């Protein structure tokens, strides 16, 4: 039986969480942190993507609206463009622009044909992502189109060559491989005694998505990064600051443990 998406949206208003807060003490790093799961039940966090978020999805959406408005004023008023999270359906042609994985709970309603009919077109950000939706959700190829992620290329520049120093950077959220990178960095410098002329700059936290409560479970990782030799932890900064910083970086280190649909971080680094 197909899910009635209208009812699903209506019933999706977050309810008061029954999950208690969890306090954990990491004995190795002596860091105590509490994860407040009620934050994920907050309407402003769950109903839509936060307006304060500055991740790849949000930047792409902002750029799209700005550029379309320049080219054909009023065109966007003719459509409803939804970025992954379906909540309210407007009475106009709808385009669902999906940035997430096929396993994400937010897209499971697309298993049902009746729900597919609510959208004029489904836009994927990579061919691999579209294949995953076909393989795991039975999504028909003829209902989707791939429009790959894009960026504004970083202007041509010269990399610094002073003092034989190598600048390395990581600029993604912590759950995508930051701890793996810190382990590798520690092994390289302290066991292999190599890369002593390298400096690692880390730009990472969940403030990128306006979800700072999720940082609590990574406080010991951030603490470790701050205390390691040759590592600078910067937290989250604006995309403009990242793009400027990349001009001075020689290597992007991203030992990702996360399945990316179309990694804007990597695309920017390669530009």
3 state DSSP class of 20:
coil
The residues, any chain, with a CB within 8 Å of residue 203's CB and separated by 6 or more, are: 169, 170, 171, 234, 235, 236, 237, 242, 245
Separation of alpha carbons 244 and 155, rounded Å:
10
In angstroms, the Cα distances linking 149 to 67, 99, 125, 188 are 15, 9, 6, 34
16/225: higher pLDDT: 225
* 46, pLDDT greater than 60: no
Domain that holds residue 11: 1-150
Which of 125, 150, 175 is the last residue in one of the domains?
A: 150
User: Angle, nearest 10°, between helix axes 219-227 and 178-186?
Assistant: 30
Separation of alpha carbons 179 and 196, rounded Å:
19
pLDDT digits (tens, 9 = 90+) for 49-87: 677 888 888 888 888 899 999 999 999 999 999 988 898
Tally of domains in the chain: 2
Separation of alpha carbons 231 and 200, rounded Å:
5
Query: Which parts of the chain are beta strand (E)?
Result: 22-26, 31-35, 80-83, 94-97, 121-124, 144-146, 166-170, 198-202, 231-233, 251-252
Which of 107, 129, 150 is the last residue in one of the domains?
A: 150
Separation of alpha carbons 172 and 255, rounded Å:
11
Question: Would 117 be classed as within a structural domain?
Answer: yes
Residues 112, 231, single domain; the answer is no
CATH number at residue 194: 3.40.50.2000
Which of 150, 172, 201 is the last residue in one of the domains?
A: 150
* 196, pLDDT greater than 90: yes
Separation of alpha carbons 43 and 41, rounded Å:
6
Task: Name the pLDDT band for 14 (thresholds 50, 70, 90).
Answer: very low
Question: Would 157 be classed as within a structural domain?
Answer: no
Strand (E) or helix (H) holding 43: helix 43-46
Mean pLDDT of the chain: 85
Q: What are the CB-based long-range contacts (under 8 Å, 24+) for 60-69?
A: 60/99, 60/149, 60/150, 60/264, 61/97, 63/152
Share of the chain above pLDDT 70, in %: 82
Residues 13, 140, single domain; the answer is yes
* 28, pLDDT greater than 60: no
Share of the chain above pLDDT 90, in %: 68
Question: Would 156 be classed as within a structural domain?
Answer: no
Buried b (16+ CB within 10 A) or exposed e, 41-72: beeebbeebeeebbbbbbbbbeebeeeeeeee
pLDDT digits (tens, 9 = 90+) for 216-270: 999 999 999 999 999 999 999 999 999 999 999 999 999 999 999 999 989 989 9
């Amino acid at each position: 039986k197909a899910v009635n998406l209208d009812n699903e949206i209506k019933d999706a208003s977050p309810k008061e969480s029954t999950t208690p807060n969890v306090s954990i003490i990491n004995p190795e790093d002596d860091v105590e942190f509490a994860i407040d799961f009620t934050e994920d039940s907050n309407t402003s966090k769950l109903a839509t993507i936060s307006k304060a978020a500055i991740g790849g999805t949000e930047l792409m959406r902002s750029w799209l609206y700005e550029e379309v408005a320049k080219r054909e004023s009023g065109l966007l008023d003719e459509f409803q463009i939804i970025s992954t999270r379906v909540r309210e359906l407007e009475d106009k042609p709808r385009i669902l622009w999906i940035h997430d994985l096929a396993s994400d709970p937010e897209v499971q309603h697309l298993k049902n044909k009746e729900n597919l009919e609510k959208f004029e077109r489904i836009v994927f950000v990579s061919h691999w992502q579209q294949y995953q939706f076909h393989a795991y959700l039975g999504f028909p190829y003829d209902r989707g189109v791939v429009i790959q992620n894009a960026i504004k290329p970083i202007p041509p520049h010269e990399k610094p060559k002073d003092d034989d120093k190598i600048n390395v950077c990581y600029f993604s959220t912590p759950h995508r491989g930051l701890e793996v990178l810190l382990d590798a960095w520690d092994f390289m410098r302290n066991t292999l005694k190599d890369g002593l002329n390298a400096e690692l700059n880390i730009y990472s936290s969940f403030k990128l998505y306006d979800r700072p409560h999720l940082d609590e479970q990574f406080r010991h990782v951030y603490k470790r990064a701050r205390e390691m030799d040759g590592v600078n932890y910067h937290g989250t900064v604006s995309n403009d600051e990242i793009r400027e910083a990349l001009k001075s970086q020689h290597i992007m280190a991203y030992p990702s443990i996360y399945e990316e649909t179309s990694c804007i971080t990597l695309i920017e680094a390669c530009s």
